[in-house]
Amino acid sequence: MPNPFGKTRAQEKPYAIYKQGPFEYRVLKTYKQPSTESKDIYARWYLATKGPWSRGFELGDGYAKDIRDNSELVLADTDWLEHYT
């Protein structure tokens, strides 16, 4: 089965949005399937990240576990909710 979140999306239409204090993480792509991602502590997501010192969103990878464990999910597609809640 292919990764349902493996295609990169635009910042305006992310798969999910997480917030941690003043930081906002928009998930634009995952590199692994959700079922195998939980077994890999180094699984990454491609993110658009905005913080208090940035002038806009910065693109880059982040560890999925760090975001899931330390941030609050505030908005997501129904497919994302099925796999990550």
User: How many whole angstroms separate alpha carbon 48 and alpha carbon 56?
Assistant: 9
Q: Where are the domains of the chain?
A: 16-84
Per-residue model confidence (pLDDT) at position 16: 98
| pLDDT tens, position by position, 34-73 | 999 989 999 999 999 999 999 999 999 999 999 999 999 9
CB atoms within 10 A of CB 5: 26
> Which residues are CB-neighbours of 22 under 8 A, at least 6 positions away?
51, 52
User: What is the reported pLDDT for 1?
Assistant: 74
Confidence of residue 85 (pLDDT cuts 50, 70, 90): confident
- Mean pLDDT confidence for 21-36: 96
pTM of the complete model: 0.94
DSSP 7: S
